[in-house]
Chains A and B, each alone.
Chain A
Amino acid sequence: MNLDRSSVERIAHLARLALAEEDVPRYVRDLSRILDLVERMGAVDTRGVEPMAHPLDIPQRLRPDEVTEEDRREELLGLAPQAEAGHFLVPKVID
């Protein structure tokens, strides 16, 4: 399957990845080859096979509904480049 350049650019944009102009042809080639591999696997008859959601064949463990975390706000805010009045600060965003 041949991806075109604009598909690769779109995928990069969705993942917020900045691609260097000169790298794009390589990504087009590599991703196309990966998709070729997926396409070949598509030829296998998988009727009656339950899609795998996880490589480990064990179910999810559940946690009792208890509050176990305490307030570590100052420490966590300290990890951010900018914080003020108990909030993380980011460049202005408006819907």
Chain B
Amino acid sequence: MEWEAVIGLEIHVQLATRSKVFSGASTRYGAPPNTQACAIDLGLPGVLPVLNEEAVRMAVKFGLAIEAEIARRSVFARKHYFYPDLPKGYQISQYELPIVRHGHVTLHLEDGTAKRVGITRAHLEEDAGKSVHEGFGGLTGIDLNRAGTPLLEIVSEPDLRTPQEAAAYMRKIHTLVRYLGICDGNLQEGNFRCDANVSVRPVGQEAFGTRTEIKNVNSFRFIEKAIAYEIERQIDILEAGGRVVQETRLYDAAKGETRPMRSKEEAEDYRYFPDPDLLPLVLDEAFIEGVRATLPELPDAKRARFMEQYGLSAYEAGILTGERALADYYEQVVEAAGGEAKLAANWVLSELLGALNKEGLDIERCPLPAGHLGGMLRRIQDGTISGKIAKEVFEAMWRGEGDADAVIEAKGLRQITDPEAIGRIVDQVLAQHPQQLEQYRAGKDKLFGFFVGQVMKATRGRANPQQVNEILRRKLQG
């Protein structure tokens, strides 16, 4: 039987506010335990939550970016469960009336096709604290610094069909929240966490199969592997005549498999009800339009513009606009290079990304200023250096040895374009290799490359390659 997977993702995005969603405690990452947990975060008696305006703005910003409906009235609800890192015994979330509903994003897949993925809803809620199971003997330590950090939970429609699409969707949301500046997007620090709902059904069947939920997969690579494993597992069960059990599973990256979490004592029943401590959130047009005015150029628009304005391929434009900082860097290079868009794309995509990758740096911490790279491209363009020598210049600039002109000067890398100078070197090379010269003239054409190599060697690669070819060809004919 042919099977088809049905996948939906729930992504928890930590909003990059300075203070918490309902209290004035700091959200700074990495502080000593419990130094950023105040009476409200601890749920002490008598405290009242007050909603952070910036968290609301960020949620609206996301909603506008996915062309969603922004609720003029939304309501906070209590979601009850008992766990020691949730001090109140409930999480403040949104249930029936979330702030954002019915949006969508477009994925640009590797095969060149585009796919629209619906976003059911995005709602504001608070994060829980952290449990530390090691180092306290037989007890568990609780750090509530993270408790009350604002989260935007983004729920997709079950529109994804393959692990690759799921990973592309996760990347898309990551790119988007980084563009919007509403999330740092640091997966290691848990800024951006993903749960996947996965089921399979025979191709052509309308009804969904029984789904499982894979919790907390915080890597683009692992989401693909975890879902692929889960799809295979479910198909194996069904083909053997069994039934998939609806449950929550964890992905074990070391073993490359999913396994059930300890089964809950009872079915989930969160007993939601509207939080009496919080009034309905009412947004007017002025507020929403004010947020709209702060929207940057979004990734899809930027990608289309890069293709149009700079003549880049979909692939090139896709990578260059994957991070707003990279796109900005690229545009600065183009400007400094005097509009050499294609050349700039080649250098940024190959040399620059390669060098960043090699040193494990992201574009924000790139040691090479865009202006330096652009200036170097000008020197390629005006013939001061060849493309080959440019790699040497690039490396020197990367190491902080100044801009292109300074490096070219200091290292004497200026291209030799004086025909007489090149002619003299060609004469020397021919004089030094009489045997090869004789063979060449006897018809061994392949030796042409040998002579080019010798001239380049004698000039440490600085001779203009076209001129070398011409002059050499003329002189070889004798």
A→B interface (CB under 8 Å): 10, 13-16, 53-54, 56, 58-69, 71-73, 76-77, 79, 82, 84-95
Rounded to whole Å, the gap between the CB of B101 and the closest CB of chain A is 16
Complex Cα distance A64/B135, Å? 38
Q: Is the CB of A63 within 8 A of B34?
A: no
Complex Cα distance A58/B38, Å? 27
Q: Is the CB of B282 within 8 A of A14?
A: no
* A-side interface mostly: loop
Contacts of A53 in B (CB 8 A): 75, 97, 274, 279-280
Q: Of A62, A66, A79, A88, which is within 8 A of B142 by CB?
A: A88
Contacts of A87 in B (CB 8 A): 33-34, 132, 136, 141-143
Residues of chain B in range 39-76 having any CB-CB distance to chain A below 8 Å: 39, 42, 44, 50-56, 75
Complex Cα distance A70/B131, Å? 22
A14-B266, A67-B25 given; A61·B50 CB < 8 A: yes
Complex Cα distance A64/B54, Å? 7
Contacts of B75 in A (CB 8 A): 53
Q: Of A15, A58, A65, A90, which is within 8 A of B139 by CB?
A: A90
Contacts of B32 in A (CB 8 A): 73, 86
Complex Cα distance A76/B271, Å? 29
Complex Cα distance A19/B278, Å? 31
Residues of chain B in range 118-159 having any CB-CB distance to chain A below 8 Å: 131-133, 135-136, 138-144
Contacts of B279 in A (CB 8 A): 53-54, 56, 58-61
Complex Cα distance A71/B26, Å? 9
Interface size class of B (residues with CB under 8 A): 35 or more
Q: Is the CB of A62 within 8 A of B35?
A: no
Rounded to whole Å, the gap between the CB of B248 and the closest CB of chain A is 10
Tell me which of A67, A72, A77, A93 has the highest count of chain B C-beta atoms within 10 A of its own C-beta: A67
A62-B51, A86-B32, A94-B133 given; A69·B26 CB < 8 A: yes
Contacts of B23 in A (CB 8 A): 69
Contacts of A86 in B (CB 8 A): 32-35, 143
Interface assignment of B18: CB less than 8 Å from any CB of chain A: yes
Contacts of B44 in A (CB 8 A): 79
Q: Of B18, B271, B281, which is within 8 A of A59 by CB?
A: B281
Complex Cα distance A83/B8, Å? 41
* B-side interface mostly: loop
**Which A residue sits closest to B15, measured CB to CB?**
A65
Complex Cα distance A66/B20, Å? 9
Q: Is the CB of A65 within 8 A of B133?
A: no
Tell me which of B17, B18, B279, B282 has the highest count of chain A C-beta atoms within 10 A of its own C-beta: B279
**Which A residue sits closest to B276, measured CB to CB?**
A54
Complex Cα distance A79/B37, Å? 13
Chosen A-B contacts, 8 in total, with CB atoms closer than 8 Å, are A54-B276, A61-B50, A63-B50, A63-B52, A88-B84, A89-B141, A90-B139, A93-B133
Complex Cα distance A10/B271, Å? 12
Complex Cα distance A65/B25, Å? 10
Contacts of B38 in A (CB 8 A): 69, 72, 76
Rounded to whole Å, the gap between the CB of B45 and the closest CB of chain A is 11
Could you give, for residues 269-309 of chain B, a 1 whenever the CB lies within 8 Å of some chain A CB and a 0 otherwise? 10100101011111000000000000000000000000000
Interface assignment of B208: CB less than 8 Å from any CB of chain A: no
Complex Cα distance A93/B131, Å? 8
Q: Is the CB of A92 within 8 A of B139?
A: yes
**Which B residue sits closest to A88, measured CB to CB?**
B142
Q: Is the CB of B274 within 8 A of A54?
A: yes
Q: Which 4 A-B pairs have the closest CB atoms?
A: A68-B24, A87-B141, A65-B54, A59-B282
Interface assignment of B436: CB less than 8 Å from any CB of chain A: no
**Which B residue sits closest to A84, measured CB to CB?**
B136
Complex Cα distance A82/B35, Å? 17
**Which B residue sits closest to A13, measured CB to CB?**
B266
Interface assignment of B197: CB less than 8 Å from any CB of chain A: no
Q: Is the CB of B19 within 8 A of A71?
A: no
**Which A residue sits closest to B150, measured CB to CB?**
A65
Q: Is the CB of A71 within 8 A of B51?
A: no
Q: Is the CB of A88 within 8 A of B34?
A: yes
Complex Cα distance A13/B271, Å? 12
Interface assignment of B104: CB less than 8 Å from any CB of chain A: no
Interface assignment of B80: CB less than 8 Å from any CB of chain A: yes
Contacts of B18 in A (CB 8 A): 65-67
Rounded to whole Å, the gap between the CB of A50 and the closest CB of chain B is 8
Interface assignment of B446: CB less than 8 Å from any CB of chain A: no
Complex Cα distance A76/B25, Å? 14
Tell me which of A65, A69, A85, A93 has the highest count of chain B C-beta atoms within 10 A of its own C-beta: A65
Interface assignment of B406: CB less than 8 Å from any CB of chain A: no
Q: Is the CB of B280 within 8 A of A65?
A: no
**Which B residue sits closest to A77, measured CB to CB?**
B34
Q: Is the CB of B56 within 8 A of A62?
A: yes
Interface assignment of B255: CB less than 8 Å from any CB of chain A: no
Q: Is the CB of B54 within 8 A of A82?
A: no
